[in-house]
Structure 1
Amino acid sequence: MPRVSTQFARPALRRLPTRSSRPVQSLVRRLLPLVFRVQGLEVRNGNAAEGLAKAFQAHQAGETTLLIAFRHPSTRDPLVLADLFWNRAANTARQRNSPLARPVELRFLYDRGIPIWAGPLIGWLLQRCGGIAIHRGRLDRPALAEARQVLAQGRYPLVIAPEGATNNLSSEMAPLEPGVAQLAFWAAEDLEKSGQTHNLQVLPVSLIYSWRQQNWSALDARLQALERHLGVQGEPLNEAWDDPHQVHRQRFLRIGDALINTLEHLERLQHEPDQPLVNRITSYRLHGLSKAESHFGLKAAGTLQERCRRIEQAAWDRIYREGLEQLPPLERSIADWEAREADLQLSRMRLVEHFICVTGQSISDEANFDRLAEMLLLVEETIGWIEDRPWKSAPSLGPQRVELSLGEPMAVLPRLPSYRHNRRQAVQQFMADLQQSLNHLMNGD
C-alpha cells in the first residue's frame, strides 16, 4: 500500500466560491481543439451538438430550464463536454442560421477533493469556469442551495454527473446517485411557487471512448509486461482456441488472480478453492470498506460509491481540522497522529475504489479490444497506485475517439404530483428512468 502522504493535520478546508470568468472560459474554449489534436482524440458529435444547440436556444429564450446529466467514464469528460457546450453546439447553431443569442455559460457540480489531488491551478480553473464545489461525503447544504438556486433562477444550465465519479469503463455504468432527481424536484417546486412557467428538463448525455485502431500487438506487449511484473506463471495457454479473444481473457484472469492474491495477503483474507475471481474481488472490496468504516465508526450502508464518499469525508474531517492553532502541543501531536491514521484508511478506500466497477460482465463477457484495453489501463493504474509510482505504459495503444449522444429530454414538472404523493418513490422512479435512458445511449439503442 502507498506510503502515508499526510504527516500532519492541516487547517480545515475552506469553501471554494464560484468565480465565473468569461475571459478564462473564452481562453479555454479556444485551447480545447488544440488539446484534442495533441492528444489525438477524435470527437464525434453524434446528435448531441444539434440537440444541445436547440436546447440552448430554448433556454436563452426563457422557454426552458436545463439540467444536464452526463455519463462520467473518464477524467477527460469535462474537457470533452466543455468543447461540446462552448464550441460544437454554438457552431451547429450558426450552421443552422440560428446562432445563439449569447455565449453558453453553465454551472456544474464538482468534487471539493479535486483541487487536493489535482492541484490549486485546476481548482482555480474550475471556479472560473462556473464550478460549484461540493463535499460528496456529507450533506453539503451551501453547495446544494447554490445548485438549487441556479435551477430555480433558470439563468444557467446546471451540469451534473449522476454517477458521482469516474469509473474508467465506457461500457459499464456505476449506480446513479439520487441527487440529480432531488435537485430537479426541489427546483420544480421553487419554479411553481414563484409562478414561473419554465419547462424544467433533464437532458441525458452519453460519452463513449474507443480506440481508433485495434492495436493487438501493443495490447499483447503490455499484457506481457504485467505478467512479468506480477510473476504470472502456469500452464501454456491454448493458442489454437477457436475464439482468438479467449486467450486474452484467460491472460487477464491470470493477471487478476495474481493481483488479488497480493491484496488478499495484505488484508489476511482467505478464499475458497476455485472461487471465481469476481467473487474474490467483491469480498476484497467489502472487507476493505468495512475495515475503514470500523476505524471511523461508520455504518455500512448504501452503495459502494456512497460508502467510499463517507469514508473520504471522515478522513478529511481528521486531516483538515478547525482550531489547530489553539491546540496545546500534546493535543496537536495527537491530531497529527489521527491525520496519519486517517490517510492510511483513505488509501485503503482508494484502492478499493479502483475495483468498484469491475464485475463479472467486465471479465467474463465476450471480449473486444476496447473493453480489454480499458481493463488493462485499470490494472496498470492500480499497480502504479499501489507502488506509488507511475506505471510505464508502453507501447502506446494508439489514439482514441469519443462519441457523444443526447437522450430525450425528461420533463420534471409533470412528475411533481407523484413527488408530493411519495417523494422517495418519485425520486427512485426518476433515477430509474434516467439510468434507462443513459443505458440506451451507451448501448447505441
Structure 2
Amino acid sequence: MPKLINSTQPPLKFIPHNFNLLILRLMQWWLPLVLRFRTRPWLPAGIVDIQGENAEVLAQLYQQFQAGKIRFLLAFRHPEVEDPLCMLYFISRIVPQVARQKGIQLQYPVHSHFVYDRGMTIWAGNWLGWLFSRLGGVPIRRGRRLDRQAIQTARDLFANAQFPIAVAPEGGNNGHSGIVSPLEPGVAQLGFWCVEDLHKANRTEAVMIVPVSIQYRYVTPPWSKLAGLLSKLEADSGLPVQSIAESAKHEPEIYYQRICRLGEYLITEMEEFYRRFYHQDIPTTIVTAETATSNEVLIARLHRLLDKALQVSEKYFGIPAQGNFIDRCRRLEEASWNWIYRDDLPDIDTLPPLRRGLADWVAQEADLRVQHMRLVESFVAVNASYIQEKHSADRFAETALLMFDMLARIQQSTLPGRPRLGLRQAIIKVGTPISVTQRWEQVQNNRQAAKKAVGILTQDLQVELEGLID
C-alpha cells in the first residue's frame, strides 16, 4: 500500500505486453532466490520448496498446444501475492522436468502470458509494470465494468499467441489457502470468445480451461513465532498480552482461543468506531439462530461490520451497495481511481492553481475514503468454520496475518512487509481440463443459452478448484 496520496495523479495508462525472451531467462534464473528472499534479503523465511502434482497433464497440454491442436487457459487459485512467482517456477521448471522424465517433447521456452491487476504497479512501483510487460503480462483494471483494451488484448492472446494465458478467476488474493473465493465470470467468457474467434477463422483447435490449485504450508509449524505475533497484536490493540507456558506452546486450542479473543476485541472496537464517528447504525447485539455457536455469532458481527465499512465509502462515492463484498470492493477501487488518476483533465501541470488545488483536494479525499474498503478486502473470505474445523498452525497463521494487515493499515500510511513466520512450501495441483469447445457447440446458435453456459462453466470451475484443496 502506498503512502496516502496528497495530490491528483496522471491517468493510469494501459501497459502493452512486450515479451522479451532475455528478461524471461533472467527471471527464471533468479526465481529460486526471489522466492526465498522476496522482500527482506536478510530474513530467509520465504518459499523453499515447490511441489507439483499432475504436472504430466500440463506437459501433455503444452505438447498439444505447440503442435497447434489446442488452445488453453490456466485458471489458477490466488490465495497469496507469491502465487505468480510460484506459477512461473512450476511452468518453467517442474513441467519441463516432468516432460523430460515422461518422454514428452516440448519446445522451449515453456511459458504463459498472464493477466495482472493494474493496481499492483501503484503500490509496488512502475518497475513492476516494466517487468510484467516483458514477461508477457496484461494489466486489467478489475473494477471497470468493461476494460476494453485489457479484455481485447487477453482475448487476442488466448486465440493467437505463442504461449497459453494464465488468469486468476477469483480476481484477487484472499489470504486463505483452503478457501476458494466466488469466481468472476471473465475466465469462462474468455473461453467462449476464444472458440468463437477460432471458428470464424476456420481453425480447428480445441479450447480448454485448466484448473490449477496453489496451497501453502509451513515446513515446520511456527508455533513460537505465531505466539510472538499474537502477543504483538494484543499489545498493539490494547489487550493484555496473554502469556503461554513453554510446555503449552504447541497446544492448538490455546491459539484458537487467543485468535477468537483478539478478533472479538477488534470487532468491538471497530463497531464503536463506525458507530460514533461515521454514524452507522450498529446495534450492540445481533440476531442469530438459537443454535448459533459463539464463533458463528462473531463472524456474523464481522460481516455486518464489513458491510457498514463499505457503506461509508459507497455513500461518499455515490455507489449503490450491490453484489457481494468482492464486487463492492472492486467498484469502490475503480471509483477512487477515477478521482485520483484523472483522465478527464488536460495536463495536470498546466492547470490553473484553483483547478489544481480542487483536483488535489478530491484526490486526497478519495484516497482517504477508499481506505475503508482496504480494511474490508482482507477479510472477505473469513468464515465461521475455517480455523474451527482445522486447528492447524497454517490456518492460525493466515488469520493472524490478516489481523496484522488490518492493524498496520490503521496505524500508519504505509503497509510494512508481513512478518515471516517460517519457511514455507507451495503445493501446486493441476486439475482435470474442461473442454469449452464441447460446451460452445451445444449453445452456439442460442444467445440466451450461451449466456447461461458462461455461468454454468464458472460454477463447474469453482467446483473443480475446490476439489483440489486438501
Is 1:435 matched with 2:462?
yes
Q: What does residue range 210-249 of structure 1 map to in structure 2 within 5 Å?
A: 210-233=217-240, 244-249=251-256
Q: TM-score with structure 2 length normalisation?
A: 0.87
Shift in Å at residue 89 of structure 1?
1.1
* Secondary structure at 1:69 match in 2: strand
Bigger drift between 426-435 and 247-256 goes to 247-256
C-alpha offsets along residues 253-303 of structure 1, whole Å, 9 cap, x if unaligned?
Answer: 111112122222221253434772211211111111122112111122222
Is 1:62 matched with 2:83?
no
Shift in Å at residue 357 of structure 1?
1.3
Measured at CA, do residues 277 and 196 of structure 1 come closer, stay the same or move farther in structure 2, by a change above 3 Å?
same
Equivalent residue, structure 2, for 1:162 = 169
Equivalent residue, structure 1, for 2:208 = 201
Equivalent residue, structure 1, for 2:179 = 172
Bigger drift between 87-96 and 416-425 goes to 416-425
Bigger drift between 99-108 and 268-277 goes to 268-277
CA contact (8 A) 1:66 1:154 kept: no
Shift in Å at residue 321 of structure 1?
1.1
Give distance in 2, aligned partners of 1:93 and 1:236: 52
Shift in Å at residue 358 of structure 1?
1.3
For residue 423 of structure 1, the aligned residue among 426, 437, 450 is 450
- Ranges in structure 2 where 5+ consecutive residues have no aligned partner: 38-44, 288-296
CA contact (8 A) 2:113 2:165 kept: yes
C-alpha offsets along residues 200-219 of structure 1, whole Å, 9 cap, x if unaligned?
Answer: 00000000001111232332
Shift in Å at residue 341 of structure 1?
0.9
Equivalent residue, structure 2, for 1:35 = 34
Q: TM-score with structure 1 length normalisation?
A: 0.92
- Ranges in structure 1 where 5+ consecutive residues have no aligned partner: none
1:132 counterpart letter in structure 2: V
Give distance in 1, aligned partners of 2:119 and 2:371: 14
Measured at CA, do residues 102 and 277 of structure 1 come closer, stay the same or move farther in structure 2, by a change above 3 Å?
same
C-alpha offsets along residues 299-351 of structure 1, whole Å, 9 cap, x if unaligned?
Answer: 22222112111111111111111313454332221111111111012211111
Equivalent residue, structure 1, for 2:333 = 312
CA contact (8 A) 1:238 1:247 kept: no
Give distance in 1, aligned partners of 2:156 and 2:119: 23
Q: What does residue range 4-43 of structure 1 map to in structure 2 within 5 Å?
A: 5-38=4-37, 39-43=45-49
* Secondary structure at 1:169 match in 2: coil
For residue 357 of structure 2, the aligned residue among 330, 333, 346 is 333
* Secondary structure at 1:11 match in 2: coil
For residue 382 of structure 1, the aligned residue among 406, 416, 420 is 406
Bigger drift between 230-239 and 60-69 goes to 230-239
CA contact (8 A) 1:66 1:202 kept: yes
Give distance in 1, aligned partners of 2:242 and 2:21: 61
Bigger drift between 215-224 and 427-436 goes to 215-224
CA contact (8 A) 1:93 1:99 kept: yes
2:393 counterpart letter in structure 1: F
Give distance in 1, aligned partners of 2:314 and 2:118: 21
For residue 292 of structure 1, the aligned residue among 310, 313, 318 is 313
- Structural RMSD (CA): 2.6
Give distance in 2, aligned partners of 1:37 and 1:308: 31
C-alpha offsets along residues 383-431 of structure 1, whole Å, 9 cap, x if unaligned?
Answer: 112112666976x532111111000000001111236342332111101
Measured at CA, do residues 438 and 105 of structure 1 come closer, stay the same or move farther in structure 2, by a change above 3 Å?
same
Q: What does residue range 175-194 of structure 1 map to in structure 2 within 5 Å?
A: 175-194=182-201
Shift in Å at residue 147 of structure 1?
0.8
CA contact (8 A) 1:48 1:205 kept: no
2:306 counterpart letter in structure 1: R
Measured at CA, do residues 238 and 28 of structure 1 come closer, stay the same or move farther in structure 2, by a change above 3 Å?
closer
CA contact (8 A) 1:110 1:131 kept: yes
Give distance in 2, aligned partners of 1:102 and 1:391: 38
Give distance in 1, aligned partners of 2:421 and 2:111: 35
Shift in Å at residue 369 of structure 1?
1.5
Give the fraction of aligned pairs with identical amino acids, expressed as a percent. Answer: 37
For residue 108 of structure 2, the aligned residue among 102, 107, 111 is 102
* Secondary structure at 1:110 match in 2: strand
Shift in Å at residue 76 of structure 1?
0.5
1:433 counterpart letter in structure 2: D
CA contact (8 A) 1:65 1:154 kept: no
C-alpha offsets along residues 168-217 of structure 1, whole Å, 9 cap, x if unaligned?
Answer: 11011111101000111111111112111101000000000011112323
CA contact (8 A) 1:24 1:128 kept: yes
Give distance in 2, aligned partners of 1:327 and 1:228: 47
C-alpha offsets along residues 7-34 of structure 1, whole Å, 9 cap, x if unaligned?
Answer: 1111211111111110000000111123
Is 1:258 matched with 2:265?
yes
Number of matched residues? 440
For residue 272 of structure 1, the aligned residue among 265, 275, 284 is 284
Q: What does residue range 75-114 of structure 1 map to in structure 2 within 5 Å?
A: 75-114=81-120
Is 1:411 matched with 2:411?
no
CA contact (8 A) 1:232 1:254 kept: no
Measured at CA, do residues 185 and 10 of structure 1 come closer, stay the same or move farther in structure 2, by a change above 3 Å?
same
CA contact (8 A) 2:314 2:332 kept: yes
Equivalent residue, structure 2, for 1:130 = 136
Measured at CA, do residues 393 and 52 of structure 1 come closer, stay the same or move farther in structure 2, by a change above 3 Å?
closer
Measured at CA, do residues 339 and 94 of structure 1 come closer, stay the same or move farther in structure 2, by a change above 3 Å?
same
Give distance in 2, aligned partners of 1:239 and 1:357: 32
1:371 counterpart letter in structure 2: R
